[in-house]
Structure 1
Amino acid sequence: MQIFLDQILVKFKIAGRGIDYFGKEAIGDDYTALFELVKNARDACAKHVDIIFENNQIIIEDDGDGMTEADIENNWFVLATDSRLKRTKTNCHGKQVWGEKGIGRIALQKLGDKAVMKTLAKGGSQTVIVHHDWQKFNKEGVTFDDVDFPIEVRSKGKDTKGTTLEISNLNSRWPTTRRAELQTELGMMISAEDFNDIKITVDGTIVGLETREFRKKVSQIAPYKISASISSNGVTTKIADVWKNQGNWQPGKTMDGDYGDGTYPGKMRVEFYFFPRGAAKQETAKVEKYYKQKLKNASFDLNNFSKENSGVYLFRDGVWARPLGGQDDWLGMEARRVQNPTGNIGRTQVFGVVNVTKKNNPDIKPSSHRESMQKSKEFIGMKKVLIQILKVLEAYWREVKAEDKKETLSGYKDRGEKTEKQLKDAIKIIKANEKTLGKTTAGSVTRMLKDATEGFEETKQEYEDRLGEVERIDDHIKKVASLGIMTSYMAHEIANPLEQSIKIIKNARKMMDETDFDEKIPKAQVEEGWEMVEGLEKNAATMSKFTEMVNKLNKHIATSVSKKGRARDVNIFDLWEKVSEGFSSIKEKYQISIIDPSNTKLTVRMDPIDLECIFANLYLNSIESLALDKKNSKKTVSVETKWDSSGLTIDFKDNGIGILAEEKDNIFEDFVTGDTSSDDDDYHGQGIGLSICNALIERYNGSIKAVPPYGEGAGARFILHFSSDKVSKVA
């Protein structure tokens, strides 16, 4: 048994320099510090807040409810006070208070070493003056409890209710450019609807008017908009399109929320305003014509918008959760767009607003230093579902482009047929009125119209020929894209052996410099030299294999283009073997076993480069999937072929990470990728490889589809079918 002779009680002490943790170190920049003080004023029911820069001071004046001496002692000087827990709504408009941690007043320390606060409470008769000298905290051995703040109390005189802060010994310079930036930042920090609560000025200029006007113009000008509400019942989206329903909202659609590895984040509202551009911003593009007309009398710079104002902004109870928005691509939109520039929407093409509240989304909240958000399960779920909403808009945009393309081609045809009919009708009318016109005149006009008709028919045929050529070029582009994918993959894979080779050469040169060749060279050094040589040989073989594969594909594409995709006899097994051998070093690296088709003699007649590109894209897809499957020790890729009266069928499968069930129906569409901003990049369908496969197979009246099972660890299986009316069996 232990006997305690004495017991003492101790308390935590905070060293004076710990004030920096709450002030200078906790608050990212001066703009955020000033906004913390603005938030305090708004929560005190201020209708006006004036920020003035004069005589090397920052003066902040508000007409809020002010504070009594007791308020100052019990709240202002109590860090992390629980008053925020007791009072969550403002006394005036009943809205959620903006301050929440009870440490906003330490923003004074971020801005300057000294401050004087003068405050008169609503209905009060005394003005209270508090002197702050933050330098006292820097003295050696000082704790928080050792620092005193002088307080004066005087009759209010002509003072009016509210609080004035005079900050001096400033820590930063405030030239005109920074004050202008402050106006912009403060304007962005408050959502449009909350400008009605409070008017903020900086040196007499009202803050937020430009921001409010900008947001108004965005909503008026954006050709496409998507609005979404997220609730426990799912995600409801509706889209507005200026070319449909006069830009009014189309009927909404509800879908299950996809929260990935996160959880349901709570109710929230989302709006994305989408500004696509025409190819190379050509003025003839439909959308560019729209912008030209819409922006004729509007002071809205579309190019500047993309550079400066675009992005998805997160607002929490009307306050911008800085820095999530603007140039902070927190949803990874540009990474997705880089993979598919014409299909995925990038940050610079969108102005988005995400509205959350402390009440509905308590776990989506700032980190302690206020400059980022806590990575909670709810925050992760929110990011995931926002990408889901973005994909709805992207799918709609792809449909619009496809419809526009059809309408354009149909329009050419309709106009051509109409013109042709009009010419022929004119000839009939003239012949029917020969007597009135006179035979000579009628004959002359008829010949002119016949010449016009023949000329039109030649033009029509030329157009159809050119359209066919465009389709052939598009086909060649798919093949060149395959070469690009393979080259990109090759560059990634040879980077490591190339780097190793450079390192080996450096070490070899160093060894040569340090070796005395007049003396007997130690056996260990000779063995080390041979290891270097073997390493170089291995790396050279890896790089050679890849370059040989790319060179072959390049040559085959060139041949295919020159022969306009002429069909030849193709032994499917030989061609698959050639493709798989081109990646033999990768196969060894990830220990992938290849299960070849049982029918090694099946030969068909088709363009071999088409099948080579298809195999290369599918195999690259499998390699990426298998490489990510760390738990699988028996990685396999198998190919099986079959011929019947309907044509050629290829069964291609791997046992990698798998395909998401919700992605199975659209992974073959043009320019559809998975989400690179989350963990879903562990699945198939990340690049344009599958869409290229689909496009090439469609040339053969064929199809490609993913078949079950789906999901993590289920592997991927694709069934490819080539119609017998386009592919013939040779042997």
Structure 2
Amino acid sequence: MEVLKYIVEDSTIAELLGVQNFSTDEAAVLELVKNAYDANALNLKIKFQNNQMVIQDDGIGMNVEDIKKHWMHIGKSDKKYEIIDDNNNKRIQAGSKGVGRFALSRLGCNIIMTTKKADNSGVVWKTDWNTSIIDTAENLIENGTTILIENLRERWNKKRINNLCEYIERTYFDDSMKIEIITDEFNKIIPKYFPTAEIGINCKSNLKLKYDNGILTTIIKSDEFDRKATKYCQGINLNEFESKVNVKDELKGSYIEEVAENDLERIVNGIGKFSANFYFNLLSSELDKDKYLYKYTSTPEKIKGGIVLYRNAFSISSYEGKKDWLGLGKRSRKSPAAASHETGSWRVRENQLAGYVLIDKKKNNKLQDLANRQGLDENIYFQVFVEIICMGIKEFERYRQNIIRKIDVKNKIISPNKSPVSDRVAKSPKSIKNLTPDESKQLASEIKEYKKEQKRYQKDKEEVEQKYRYDVRILNVLATTGLKASSIAHEMKNNRNFIYENYENIVDALKEYGMWEELNLEENTRKSYKNVPYLLKNGNEVEKKLLTFMDTMLEEIEKNQFELRERSIFDSVNAIKKVWQRDYKWIHINLDIEEDIVYEISEDVIQVILDNLILNSIQQNDEIQLLNIFISAMKNDGKLEFEYRDNGKGLDDKYLINPRKILEVHETTRKKGHGLGMWIVNNTCIMSGGEVQDIKGEKGFYIKFTLGGKI
């Protein structure tokens, strides 16, 4: 028996692992920067002259044995997790695959490398990618490695070198090795891409995430709002916010839970500890500054854009800030509501957030490189990793939107009518000559205010249009589904008598033919799929449900449901109660509503809210044998005040700290749930002129809300 080994031509290896393996020349240069970093270099110089590139570092260097055993051994790496120098400084090593040296092939046709290791002779290694030779270099004194790349495959002009500087600046996240780019025209030391966050100087808010063992901690520091905002934001700290989220609980009902099946806890814990640091900036107009009490329109300094994923000292290819790998653009397009929207969920735009995420080679080893090292395998671990980051961003979005919603209340307050000077001038233009100096100043002030009001009106108009575009998109889907169902119900109505009498007609016919008694004999009813009386009875139950569905659909879309008129609230709620108790025998609805309460409101408002609340109770408690629901209503300060509660299991743990999260669009813990029910409840309350006042979920579910008569 003979053991065989592959023989591969040097030029083929260089082509596959060098020229084709690296997507760009900049990525190839970065690989050589990593090599210098892993060699514990303190200084690295990249020089461009004529048609040559020189990579020079003062690292530990190599000897002849290192070249033969490691440098020339493809796919083998002598690099460990970390390297420790004489001063006990640690560096996490970037390389591990043993193919990074072929970045040289991507850059040039001829390579001359001179290198020296302490207490060893210098070495020269040369290659044209067909033949490689090694020789000694006795004249080398300094430890380190210098690589001369000749016959460059591409021309490095000033623009390309500037792009390289920006690329290395963005992808290198350390200051233990100084990197200098040297050309005939300039010398540049690569600075740090992301500065220290300075609230009010280079960002309006700073968002830090810390993830460890299934718990995500979100820490926000902000200087976005003026002190005047505290008047409208009682109980909210405008400058600091911190929250902790149980990731496993938060993922309930998401597509991630479905994909992970029963492995979610293992996946969540397997991701490993990581952190993130984001800078939020928003350029606002003077009009918005006044409207939402922003402290300033922009910050004096700017942060470069993009969100970069760093693994220790270097970014990961394809996650260098140029692509939206967190999907912020997709999130904002899916939920385009403004921050002032009463019910829609505001999402930060990708151009408003910059920063970085830090992972570790060992701690986050489930986040694995692709074979070509040009990205990560976007497996289930990566998907959960992205979801965790977005959870932290969502905490910031909720915090900021809550502040803006409260401030926006002041913009809805109508000022009392005044008797402005401009009214007199409009009625009698000649009177302008008789104005006193104070009245002239007031007139000028009023004209300025009118102009300002016009701009504000235009802005409000745009926000209203945006708000209803968002609402209509969601409601159109539900309306279309309802119309399809009502169309089927109309068709079924023509067959109503047949469906209703079908069971009795079949039984009567079987009795008349003398078959009914035989079909009920024990030997003919042992197997359920052959038990004709049982099958007919079950079919009859299904037919009754279809009739109930049809009647409900046709009743609820009648035109008079949408008419605004005075109604008995007890009668309206009692009618809803009867329908639900007719269809669900295991629920009991208790009413505490005085029969003489009359209120001008359209029927659909009450029905939409209570139907969604009752449906939620049923879906969340389908294992309970008897579900008790309690509904009370009373008039209070010109509005209807409702309290609704049930004896079910209450809210999921993820909502107990902040129950109002259930009002957000698409928020659900049920698999394949749409998460629109409670959003519709909240939206309907607000559109009527009311609001959701309180939500609890520790012992059963409880909600208190008011309704007005706007719709």
Same fold, TM exceeding 0.5? Answer: yes
Q: How does 1:101-500 map to 2 (within 5 A)?
A: 101-133=97-129, 136=130, 148-156=131-139, 161-170=144-153, 172-191=154-173, 194-203=174-183, 204-209=186-191, 211=193, 220-232=201-213, 234-242=215-223, 253=242, 255-259=244-248, 260=251, 261=264, 262-264=267-269, 265-278=271-284, 282=288, 284=290, 290-292=296-298, 294-295=299-300, 298=301, 300=302, 309-338=304-333, 339=335, 340-342=337-339, 343-375=346-378, 378-405=381-408, 482-487=471-476
* Closer/same/farther in 2, CA of residues 377 and 400 from structure 1, 3 Å limit: same
Alignment-derived partner of residue 255 in structure 2: none
Deviations 1:468-496 (A, max 9, x none): xx99999999888644432366689999x
Contact 2:292–2:407 at 8 Å: present in 1 too?
Answer: no
SS state of the match for residue 115, structure 2? strand
Deviations 1:75-105 (A, max 9, x none): 1111232411386446673211222222211
* Closer/same/farther in 2, CA of residues 708 and 313 from structure 1, 3 Å limit: same
Between the two proteins, the alignment pairs up a number of residues equal to 565
* Closer/same/farther in 2, CA of residues 568 and 351 from structure 1, 3 Å limit: same
Contact 2:225–2:295 at 8 Å: present in 1 too?
Answer: no
SS state of the match for residue 388, structure 1? helix
* Closer/same/farther in 2, CA of residues 379 and 404 from structure 1, 3 Å limit: same
5+ residue gaps, structure 2: 228-236, 252-263, 340-345, 419-437, 439-455, 485-552, 577-586, 621-626
Contact 1:278–1:286 at 8 Å: present in 2 too?
Answer: no
Q: Separation in 2 of the partners of 1:316 and 1:573?
A: 59
Alignment-derived partner of residue 73 in structure 1: 68
Q: How does 1:531-550 map to 2 (within 5 A)?
A: none
Q: Is 1:695 aligned to residue 677 of structure 2? A: no
Alignment-derived partner of residue 675 in structure 2: 684
Q: Separation in 2 of the partners of 1:90 and 1:411?
A: 70
Deviations 1:410-462 (A, max 9, x none): 9999xx9xxxxxxxxxxxxxxxxxxxxxxxxxxxxxxxx9xxxxxxxxxxxxx
Give, in angstroms, the shift of residue 241 of structure 1: 2.3
SS state of the match for residue 80, structure 2? helix
* Closer/same/farther in 2, CA of residues 703 and 252 from structure 1, 3 Å limit: closer
Of 88, 93, 96, which aligns to 2:92?
Answer: 96
Contact 1:315–1:354 at 8 Å: present in 2 too?
Answer: yes
User: How does the TM-score come out when normalised to structure 1?
Assistant: 0.59
Q: Separation in 2 of the partners of 1:369 and 1:494?
A: 52
* Closer/same/farther in 2, CA of residues 567 and 276 from structure 1, 3 Å limit: farther
Deviations 1:163-195 (A, max 9, x none): 22314351x44443222211111001112xx12
Partner AA of 2:66 in structure 1: D
SS state of the match for residue 348, structure 1? coil
Contact 1:703–1:721 at 8 Å: present in 2 too?
Answer: yes
Alignment-derived partner of residue 63 in structure 1: 58
After alignment, is 59-68 or 177-186 more displaced? 59-68
* Closer/same/farther in 2, CA of residues 670 and 223 from structure 1, 3 Å limit: farther
Contact 2:205–2:280 at 8 Å: present in 1 too?
Answer: yes
Q: Separation in 1 of the partners of 2:55 and 2:378?
A: 34
SS state of the match for residue 221, structure 1? coil
User: How does the TM-score come out when normalised to structure 2?
Assistant: 0.61
Q: Separation in 2 of the partners of 1:670 and 1:471?
A: 27
Contact 1:281–1:288 at 8 Å: present in 2 too?
Answer: no
Contact 1:478–1:696 at 8 Å: present in 2 too?
Answer: no
Deviations 1:132-169 (A, max 9, x none): 41xx4xxxxxxxxxxx5222323326777432231435
What's the % identity of the aligned pairs? 17
- Say what the alpha-carbon RMSD is for the aligned residues: 6.1
Give, in angstroms, the shift of residue 278 of structure 1: 3.9
Q: How does 1:648-687 map to 2 (within 5 A)?
A: 661-663=653-655, 672-673=664-665, 684-685=675-676
Q: Separation in 2 of the partners of 1:706 and 1:221?
A: 40
Q: Separation in 1 of the partners of 2:319 and 2:305?
A: 12
* Closer/same/farther in 2, CA of residues 575 and 110 from structure 1, 3 Å limit: farther
Contact 1:344–1:671 at 8 Å: present in 2 too?
Answer: no
Q: Separation in 2 of the partners of 1:383 and 1:327?
A: 16
Deviations 1:646-689 (A, max 9, x none): 77979899x9xx9854247757569834589x998855159954
Give, in angstroms, the shift of residue 695 of structure 1: 2.0
Contact 2:285–2:297 at 8 Å: present in 1 too?
Answer: no
Q: Separation in 2 of the partners of 1:400 and 1:641?
A: 33
Contact 1:668–1:690 at 8 Å: present in 2 too?
Answer: no
* Closer/same/farther in 2, CA of residues 96 and 474 from structure 1, 3 Å limit: closer
Partner AA of 2:347 in structure 1: N
